[in-house]
Structure 1
Amino acid sequence: MAGGRKQSGERRSDRLFELIGILRDGELHTARELATRLNVTERTIWRDMATLRASGVPVEGERGVGYRVTAPITLPPLNLSMGELEALHLAVAILGEATDPELARSASSLAAKIDAVLPENTAIPSGGWGFAVYPFADAASGFRHMPLLREAVRGKKILRAAYRSRDDQVSNRLIRPLQLDYWGRLWTCTAWCELRNDFRVFRVDRFQTLIDTGATFKDETGKTLDDYLAARA
């Protein structure tokens, strides 16, 4: 029974990840279109959109019209960088799981106050800010890779990666990290994958290992971030 619930939760996390990947183009997508692409019901899409909103992903839209991802989350009067937002999520998540009841209650209160001032949200989600999509332990497992990935994006470094797929198969790849994105406690890395000879968007928490090969890459036609964005458009 527990194993079945875990597999169901993993499938839902994978589906939410795929939804984010579709919506990140900024275009309007109907629930019917999304349901067809993901082989689920429209009712499931409605529930998933509510979950994404509750987790802090800036989704706008409604049933019968369509959905799209809008601007990054901000906290007025502050504009948070991705690194600052990551740190805030991490701190609240850690305190929320603290064994000290007082700290846990304070974290829950802080999460509610943050929700109250997020312009993309009009109500406090029942699950608390940032807790609705990905378990903290899963999200945190990818944090250790962030410094190397940031360095690789800035320095155009080629990394050797062991990556676990959604069906738990591990493949060894050489990647050229191009961009990091943050979606409600989930980091993704857009990269050129030498193994697939194509662009791939990796969930950072699914990297088993990342190693700096010492090699760097130069921008090549067809392999740049602009090329990836143009292909999506």
Structure 2
Amino acid sequence: MRRTDRLFDLILVLRDGRLHRAEDLAESQGVSVRTIYRDMDILQQSGVPVAGERGLGYIMTAPITLPPLNLTLTELEALHLGMAVVGEAADEELQDAARTLSAKIDAVLPEDRSATPSSWGFAIYPFADAAGGFRFMPAIRKSIRAHQKLRVTYANVTGELSERTIRPLQMEYWGRVWTTTCWCELRANFRVLRIDRIRALKPLAELFVEEQGKSLADYVQSKKP
């Protein structure tokens, strides 16, 4: 069982409001007690209202719980934008709530990705930075659907700018950072560009068709061990 699935199962168990021993939780999940201790630390750090400590047991104290939700990437984009606005413009209490909500979402995102989302966490990339690329996301989404090339001005990690023509293939969410996987004609290879580092974007009249070695399926295949 993946860690995210186990964390969700633990939340379902704890939401009954009763005290649960780590030993019992470990037995029900088929893992070690040490793993349960780590899981509880992750839930608490993510803002899930779990009280307790090692040797005593754990209990969930939240007065409100929500059923599981299946979100589309567009819905996740809207939620992300809302958290970005609140995280930058609201009062201190709501800013803290935006941070804990974002952490809860990150805790249950799928783990089977080609990069490590934890390395792009809130402390390193605050909402304001990620929000910088939101204005380009509708055009990227539209171009993915239409197979339309884009001309982008992109800043690397040092701030150096480059002009490149890309074939956008998909957008992905990595915990407050959105990226677009594309075929970059400048590099003649696949690239994963952080959308918040795009400084300018222009849809081109030129469309593209899937070519062997340049498709999303080819990119996915290239990442397999």
Classify the TM-score, shorter chain. Answer: 0.5 to 0.7
* CA shift for structure 1 position 116: 6.3
Residue number in structure 1 paired with 2:186: 195
Q: Does the 8 A contact of 2:87 with 2:99 survive in 1? A: no
Query: What is the SS of the residue equivalent to 1:97?
Result: helix
Give, as a single letter, the amino acid of the residue that structure 1 aligns with 2:151: R
In 2 relative to 1, CA 154–115 (structure 1 residues): closer, same or farther, beyond 3 Å? same
Q: Does the 8 A contact of 1:182 with 1:188 survive in 2? A: yes
Query: What is the SS of the residue equivalent to 2:89?
Result: coil
CA-atom RMSD in angstroms: 3.1
Deviations 1:98-156 (A, max 9, x none): 25x3xx413534654676688649xxxxxxxx743412221111000000000111110
Of 201, 213, 219, which aligns to 1:228? 219
Q: In 2, distance between residues paired with 1:178 and 1:139? A: 20
Residue number in structure 2 paired with 1:34: none
Residue number in structure 2 paired with 1:158: 149
Q: Does the 8 A contact of 2:88 with 2:128 survive in 1? A: no
Query: What is the SS of the residue equivalent to 2:70?
Result: coil
Q: Does the 8 A contact of 1:174 with 1:194 survive in 2? A: yes
In 2 relative to 1, CA 118–161 (structure 1 residues): closer, same or farther, beyond 3 Å? closer
Residue number in structure 2 paired with 1:61: none
Q: Does the 8 A contact of 2:149 with 2:208 survive in 1? A: yes
In 2 relative to 1, CA 55–145 (structure 1 residues): closer, same or farther, beyond 3 Å? farther
How many percent of aligned residue pairs carry the same amino acid? 47
Of 111, 126, 138, which aligns to 1:147? 138
The count of aligned residue pairs is 154
Query: Is residue 210 from structure 1 mapped to residue 184 from structure 2 by the alignment?
Result: no
Q: In 2, distance between residues paired with 1:227 and 1:157? A: 18
Query: Is residue 90 from structure 1 mapped to residue 81 from structure 2 by the alignment?
Result: yes
In 2 relative to 1, CA 166–114 (structure 1 residues): closer, same or farther, beyond 3 Å? closer
Give, as a single letter, the amino acid of the residue that structure 2 aligns with 1:108: D
Q: Does the 8 A contact of 2:87 with 2:96 survive in 1? A: yes
Q: Does the 8 A contact of 1:93 with 1:131 survive in 2? A: no
**1:24-63 alignment to 2 at 5 Å?**
none
Structure 1: tracts of 5 or more residues without a match: 1-49, 57-74, 122-129
Query: Is residue 108 from structure 1 mapped to residue 96 from structure 2 by the alignment?
Result: yes
Q: Does the 8 A contact of 2:132 with 2:196 survive in 1? A: yes
Q: In 1, distance between residues paired with 2:161 and 2:105? A: 41
In 2 relative to 1, CA 113–196 (structure 1 residues): closer, same or farther, beyond 3 Å? closer
User: What stretches of structure 1 move > 6 A for 4+ residues in a row?
Assistant: 116-119
Q: Does the 8 A contact of 1:96 with 1:105 survive in 2? A: no
TM-score by length of 1: 0.58
Q: Does the 8 A contact of 1:149 with 1:177 survive in 2? A: yes
Query: What is the SS of the residue equivalent to 2:136?
Result: helix
In 2 relative to 1, CA 115–201 (structure 1 residues): closer, same or farther, beyond 3 Å? closer
**Between Structure 1 and Structure 2, whose CA radius of gyration is higher?**
2
TM-score by length of 2: 0.60
* CA shift for structure 1 position 93: 3.0
Query: What is the SS of the residue equivalent to 1:178?
Result: strand
